[in-house]
Structure 1
Amino acid sequence: MSGRIVTLTLNPTVDIAAEAEMVRAVRKTRTRNERFDPGGGGVNVSRVVHELGGETLAIILAGGLAGSLLEELLDAQGVPRHSIPIAGRTRMSHTVNDLSARHEFRFVPEGPKVSEEEWRATLAALEAEPGDWVVASGSLPPGVPDDFYAQAADLAAHQGRHYVLDTSGSPLKAALGHRLALIKPSRGEFETLVGRPLNTPRQQNQAAQELVRQGAAELIAVSLGHEGALLAEKDGVLRLRALDVPALGAVGAGDSFLAAMVLKLSQGESPREAFAWGMACGAAAVMRPGTAQPRREDVEALRRQIGAV
């Protein structure tokens, strides 16, 4: 094994972000300040780990011209990758910031259909690529079974690796209890997972710690939007407030949070210390437009702002 963090992204995307004075139905919306970023959960995690000075490798499925562009963008940023070619075309997502209403509109395609041969090639790549930590993140494209992440978790456990999962719905439920080191649902995803609304901090804390004690995952970090986030472990729950930063773009903030947290865990930091770094990195990502663009110096400054945990 090696100290690098291997990420797994079965449904990556080329993220296109732009600004518009106003978004209105029927009328043509003219945009400016377009930017293209490699995206998708695990891709973003690898990009941020790389920015923070960690060692990483992104395993991705890539197909068509958009897949070639995704690879080009990753290569330009110096992010190591292991690409698995697919017959379908990699998706392209579009985010438009409406400057007049101060709303962010996101358009996210479903993604290409993936064959069994293609998704099994991803498991083979995961088995072959060394790395003490594996981060599987993002949605599953059509054609991939709901238990794919559970299969990947079993493979990682057999190899003695730490396995982190950031997904939702049936794929998340199917993987619970498969020796997960960490899961990171949003509040809405967490409520769906437990099957009931969690309207108070006490309810949220109890539900998260109950899942940990049942063996669903060693650690559960739940992002709570403007209310901050919580971290549940066997011995208790830590809640941290959201940092007050100027918001220029939220795409990839959760992935940035996860990247910093896993990096610090891989470096031997305590879960609570790693959680604080995750909060700092998520806030740093919000401060910049585009997808998952935190700057290392901003992350370090925000971590100092949080103080002792």
Structure 2
Amino acid sequence: MPDIVTITINPAVDIFVDVERVEPIRKMRCSAPKRDPGGGGINVARVAYRLGGDVTAIYPAGGAIGKLLQKLLDREGIVSIATPSHVETRENFTAFETTSGDQFRFVLPGSTLHRAEWEACLDKLTTLQGKPSFVVASGSIPPGVPEDFFSRVIREARKLGARTVVDTSGDALKEAIAEGVDIIKPNLNELSEFTGEKLDSDAACVAACRKLIDADRVTMVALTLGGDGALLVTKDRALKAQPMKIDVVSAVGAGDSFLGGLVWALAQGQSEHDAFRVAVAAGSAAVMNPGTELCREVEVKQLLPKVKIAEISL
């Protein structure tokens, strides 16, 4: 039985290319494309597996792209439970402009899923043999899937005795928090949008997290702050990780790597403090790699001793 199960209701195959310059009208000659399995929960699974975790990924897959997605995950050694979809699995496209160092990210919407198709993913969760330690629901919600889908995942995960983790935004995040969830991992913009508050200081961020915790809606908030580091807030503690001094190559997948590292470490029985250190190292390692590469174990281990965490007293 896996320690970690991820659910990705809007998976993708991510395509990455280099191009000299992005310009209108004219043909832009690109490098050979690199293709990676993608979608929030799938990326979390990839990171947790790279760090040594026992992971299973649940997701819908359809068409030729869906078959490619399964093949790419098989190639990485990820145990996956793919449910059939009548629509083609989506693709995302990222172009790195070599002359400027800028990235251009084109995120395609998922196609509409039938009720039976998204319910099939829930059914696969409910019929798992054994009990995982964590169930992670991450990513966006495609058309046809109700905004309370992650709430339904939470309810089924509780029946398995698993801790629940959600990383999403908008109404899907609101529904998950209303249901009650163990861990959420918003970024600063997502938390600000949810609370309707301008979160312009550590104190304001911690206060916003504590409102959710004190209302018994969330147990832990892992808040990523981009270039300003990250916060980990529980009922009794607030930890701040300083941004690491590294060369940023690509920001794609940093949040998923952060969450994959956090969940893997917690599933290993590490303390909140130590798990937070792993998360920061994993998120930082991801930005050192081009395209959609995510973090690698060797880089996480190299960065881990350099992570600086301080307790915030408020």
TM-score, L = length of structure 1: 0.96
Aligned equivalents of 2:293 and 2:138: distance in 1?
14
Partner secondary structure for residue 176 of structure 1 = helix
Per mean C-alpha deviation after superposition, the further-off stretch among 291-300 and 219-228 is 291-300
Partner secondary structure for residue 181 of structure 2 = coil
Aligned equivalents of 1:49 and 1:104: distance in 2?
26
Answer yes or no: is 1:246 the counterpart of 2:247: yes
Corresponding residue for residue 94 of structure 2: 95
1:39-85 Cα deviation digits (max 9, x unpaired): 00011111111111110001011001110110111111111100001
Q: How far 1:236 moved relative to its partner? A: 2.6
Q: How far 1:308 moved relative to its partner? A: 6.6
Q: How far 1:304 moved relative to its partner? A: 1.0
The one-letter amino acid paired with 1:281 is: A
Contact 2:62 2:89 in 1 (8 A): yes
Q: How far 1:33 moved relative to its partner? A: 4.5
Contact 2:223 2:231 in 1 (8 A): yes
Aligned equivalents of 1:187 and 1:88: distance in 2?
33
Corresponding residue for residue 127 of structure 1: 126
Partner secondary structure for residue 246 of structure 2 = coil
Aligned equivalents of 2:75 and 2:254: distance in 1?
21
Correspondence 1:251-270 to 2 at 5 A: 251-270=252-271
Q: How far 1:27 moved relative to its partner? A: 2.0
Correspondence 1:146-225 to 2 at 5 A: 146-225=147-226
Poorly superposed stretches of 4+, deviation over 4 Å = none
* Structure 1 residues 292 and 233, CA gap change in structure 2 (3 angstroms): farther
Partner secondary structure for residue 49 of structure 1 = helix
1:5-53 Cα deviation digits (max 9, x unpaired): 0000011000000111111122222211421000000111111111111
Aligned length: 308
Partner secondary structure for residue 5 of structure 2 = strand
Aligned equivalents of 1:33 and 1:271: distance in 2?
41
Compute the RMSD of aligned alpha carbons. Answer: 1.3
The one-letter amino acid paired with 2:127 is: A
Contact 2:154 2:181 in 1 (8 A): yes
Partner secondary structure for residue 47 of structure 1 = helix
Q: How far 1:262 moved relative to its partner? A: 0.4
1:95-140 Cα deviation digits (max 9, x unpaired): 0111222211100111111010011111100112242210100001
Corresponding residue for residue 54 of structure 1: 53
Per mean C-alpha deviation after superposition, the further-off stretch among 183-192 and 234-243 is 234-243
Contact 2:240 2:309 in 1 (8 A): no
Contact 1:255 1:292 in 2 (8 A): no
Correspondence 1:1-80 to 2 at 5 A: 2=1, 4-80=3-79
Aligned equivalents of 1:184 and 1:140: distance in 2?
16
Structure 2 unmatched runs, 5+: none
Contact 2:241 2:308 in 1 (8 A): no
Corresponding residue for residue 281 of structure 2: 280
Correspondence 1:280-299 to 2 at 5 A: 280-299=281-300
The one-letter amino acid paired with 2:108 is: P
Q: How far 1:158 moved relative to its partner? A: 2.2
Q: How far 1:159 moved relative to its partner? A: 2.2
Aligned equivalents of 2:82 and 2:292: distance in 1?
20
Aligned equivalents of 2:272 and 2:183: distance in 1?
10
Corresponding residue for residue 228 of structure 1: 229
Aligned equivalents of 2:145 and 2:71: distance in 1?
25
Partner secondary structure for residue 71 of structure 2 = helix
Q: Percent identity?
A: 40
1:198-221 Cα deviation digits (max 9, x unpaired): 112221121112211112210001
Aligned equivalents of 2:44 and 2:309: distance in 1?
25
Aligned equivalents of 1:42 and 1:163: distance in 2?
13
The one-letter amino acid paired with 2:135 is: V
Contact 1:91 1:109 in 2 (8 A): yes
Structure 1 unmatched runs, 5+: none
Q: How far 1:307 moved relative to its partner? A: 5.5
Q: How far 1:177 moved relative to its partner? A: 4.2
Q: How far 1:306 moved relative to its partner? A: 1.6
